[in-house]
Structure 1
């Protein structure tokens, strides 16, 4: 069980979070878009830390699970916590794939494929604009549940 609250954002929280997104972040996170390969800010990130949902801040992947897949998108072989990533059958664009979304806010992250390295043999292929990065040594702050925020049930 996750130590993070997976309660979805309230409508007012979601509106506030969406207001802070760039047009490209909105297109990818909210409209299931894809950024161009080999251009994402986190593709070549080598720093140690945690990749979180760009919209709601939920931790999604650790840098220790990141690998160079050669695909042009940041790739990870395992999520931070399996309960943090939702999986949805995606039949768009004439393909059958598994879309991955943030389990808390439902934002589109990318897709997962069965061609990754051991031990999971999964390749979670992510859009950089779907992610925020928290370097090791810094707190994983939760924008939905900060002291004084409109947090709802904790």
Structure 2
């Protein structure tokens, strides 16, 4: 196996994690987000990279093949967006909760921004009162959903 092809273990990425550990973390996040049981996960690994465990992935080509298989199943690798406005950060946190409750189809930051723009209309998005109104509407939406789940409706 060529040295350039091996998954590097020394390279430090964001947060001090090695490149290999970061790639393994992405694989495990994908497994969890897609809701794969252990046997399905191992079958995917074997079909894509010829291994039964992510720990056995040795090359970037194997990693890329596994990631492509996850993407075909609907996984979207995303970075947590850097939020400069704390109120937008709150909106995003509430949006992610709505995703967990099954109320929205995507937890992507851009999807949340689209919703915020629709709610705020042509108003200045960064006005404190506009974002406060959006935050309150998201909270009420979550409260309704959680109440419905508790009541079983």
Q: TM-score range by the shorter chain?
A: under 0.3
TM-score, normalized by length of structure 2?
Answer: 0.22
Higher strand share: 1
CA radius of gyration, larger in = 2
| Greater relative contact order structure (CA < 8 Å, 6+ sep) | 1
TM-score, normalized by length of structure 1?
Answer: 0.22
